[in-house]
Structure 1
Amino acid sequence: MPTKAQAFRALHRGRESGDPLVLPGPWDAMSARAFADAGFPALATPSAGVAASLGHEDGATPAKEMFAAVARVARAVDIPVSADVEDGYGLPPKELVARILQTGAVGCNLEDTDGATKVLKDPRRHADWLAEVCAEAGEELFVNARVDTFLRGVSDPAEAALRIRLYVEAGAGCVYPISVPSAQLPLLREATDAPINVFASVASASDPSIAELGRLGATRITFGPGLQRRTQAAVADIARELYEKGPGRAKL
């Protein structure tokens, strides 16, 4: 019987165009169970969604709290979980991999923006660091290397393609050009045979569908904090409704 890590890696292989792997992003144990019960084969925690659930701004969650939150998610379900651990919190590769594996996660997102300065890291130095992480991870952890060029205002797809090639050569199992315009996705698909993760919006009906993103080159779809924010908005609606129905409210 394959391990969770092997099963998660296999989910990225042999996918038909138009049928990408869809990974909802749980922010706590309850949401993880809901997504697992719905039938999804794996989950991917979003750092921004987890941060919001813990009362932090995006990017401000202490590493200890993030790892503990991921552990609660992984413990709540029987399916593979991938963890967004931002830029690795400055941890050495050996310690970073050990701490991720201790949570029960079998995959991780690692971005190429410096968490302290919010500036893109040098791609070659970052690739060298990723190579150390991947060497430590072996087959136990599936690394998704986030490419932040579009997010940081670098619109030239050649820069994203360069980083993609470097990170795949370093051992990343998947690459994530976050905020890539859908029209440029086929250009990045030509740059690599590796799986490509693409962000999908849950708020705009005008954005490409999941199937269309798959046809453009996406292997895997995630939603960032979109699902947590949609849930938060629903809770806010319920709260307003309850408040308005409270004793004496109709007289105000």
Structure 2
Amino acid sequence: MSDTSVYKCFRALHERDGIFVIPNPWDAGTARILASMGFEALATTSAGLAFSLGVNDGAVPREQTLANCRDIVEATDLPVSADLEKGFGDSPESAAETVRAAAMAGLAGCSIEDFTNRNDRPLYEFALAVDRIEAAVEAARSLPHDFILTARCENFLRGNPDLSDTIARLQAFEQAGADALYAPALPDLETIRTVCTSVGRPVNALMGTPGATYSISELAEAGVRRVSIGSAASRVALGALMKAAREIREAGTFDLMTEGATFAELSEIFTAFE
């Protein structure tokens, strides 16, 4: 797929009727595995990358994050959106600069969130949060190609389950020009439905968190247009490793080591990309 086609394809996924799933690989290998399964687009995961590097989410600098993004972009011909956290800075210009850098990495889109990465004041003040999205949108619109800017409100994920403020922020982000909207960790389908009906842009829902086990059809009925899984796949993989290692240490047996993907399965997938 040509570069131009990638950007047009990602835009078309958001504009067509129905819902689509955008799973989250954390390296080139997992990107190719997911692409081989028929998914139409991919999204990176900041936490999945961090865990693979042995650090906490939010601890990976922009340059290293974008290098990982480039690896994932180059691994397949699918459009890729990146989880770029708060844009690696507090100012609107930091968000704009990150969007421009994301485009240079070959990404078809990215998300910018309102989480400050501070426990004492987890979300940016409303006006600054909107200014940051406005700057990110302006940077996206200045690019020579299409770019999907997703604006995230982190209230529910950061222990502040304020639905009114969440909706107000998402509506302001929409007015600022965001292409897609995202409020991770909404507690139930009714809340998801309320968010979807309160805005006019496509809404992304996060699955793979505790209690978030709704089916694709249930999410579609609630009005969701895009579904991501964040760090869930990486945690599934790491959880399997921990469980198998625990068996070796505690039971002295290796039964779980036989449950992984076979060498032949992985070789077949990766050979197709040569």
Q: Tell me which moved more, 58-67 or 39-48.
A: 58-67
Q: Does the 8 Å CA contact 2:46/2:84 hold for their aligned counterparts? A: yes
Give yes or no for contact 1:123–1:166 (8 Å, CA) kept in 2. no
In structure 2, the partner of 1:178 is 184
Instruction: Give the secondary-structure state (helix, strand or coil) at the position aligned to 2:156.
Output: coil
Q: Residue 188 of structure 1: which of 190, 195, 198 is its match?
A: 195
Structure having greater relative contact order (Cα 8 Å, sep ≥ 6): 1
Within a 5 Å distance, the mapping from 1:233-248 to structure 2 comes to 233-239=239-245, 244-245=252-253
Which structure 2 segments of 5+ residues have no match?
255-274
1:147 to 148, 153, 157: 153
Question: 2: distance between equivalents of 1:227 and 1:202?
Answer: 11
Q: How does 1:43-82 map to 2 (within 5 A)?
A: 43-82=42-81
TM-score computed with the length of structure 1 as normaliser: 0.88
**Identical-residue share of aligned pairs (%):** 33
**Deviation for aligned residue 1:216:** 1.2
Structure 1 residue corresponding to 2:175, chosen from 151, 166, 169:
169
Q: CA deviation at 1:245?
A: 4.8
| Gap change, CA 1:119 and 1:240, over 3 Å in 2 | closer
- Residues 1-150 of structure 1: pairs in structure 2 closer than 5 A: 2-16=4-18, 20-90=19-89, 92-116=94-118, 119-138=122-141, 139-150=145-156
**In the alignment, which residue of structure 2 is the partner of 1:217?**
223
Q: Is the 8 A contact 1:86 1:115 kept in 2?
A: no
CA 1:187 to 1:72, structure 2 compared with 1: closer, same or farther past 3 Å?
same
- Matched letter for residue 133 of structure 1: A
Instruction: Select between 133-142 and 186-195 the one with higher mean Cα deviation.
Output: 133-142
- Aligned partners of 1:217 and 1:122: how far apart in 2? 28
Q: Is the 8 A contact 1:110 1:146 kept in 2?
A: yes
Over residues 44-81 of structure 1, what are the superposed CA-to-partner deviations in whole Å (9 max), with x where a residue is unaligned? 11110111112211111121211111111111111000
TM-aligned CA deviation for residue 102 of structure 1? 2.0
The normalised TM-score by structure 2 is 0.81
Q: Check whether the contact 2:96–2:138 (CA below 8 A) recurs between aligned residues.
A: no
SS at match of 2:77: coil
- What is the deviation of 1:143? 0.8
Which residue does 1:199 correspond to in 2? 206
Q: Give distance in 2, aligned partners of 1:203 and 1:128.
A: 32
Please give the per-residue CA displacement for 1:137-174, whole angstroms capped at 9, x wherever unaligned: 12532111111111233323211110111001111111
Residue identity in the other structure for 1:120:
L
Question: RMSD between aligned alpha carbons?
Answer: 2.1
Distance 1:56 1:166, change over 3 A: same
- Checking the alignment, whether the CA contact within 8 Å between 2:99 and 2:110 is kept in structure 1 is no
Query: Does the residue aligned with 1:3 lie in a helix, a strand or coil?
Result: helix
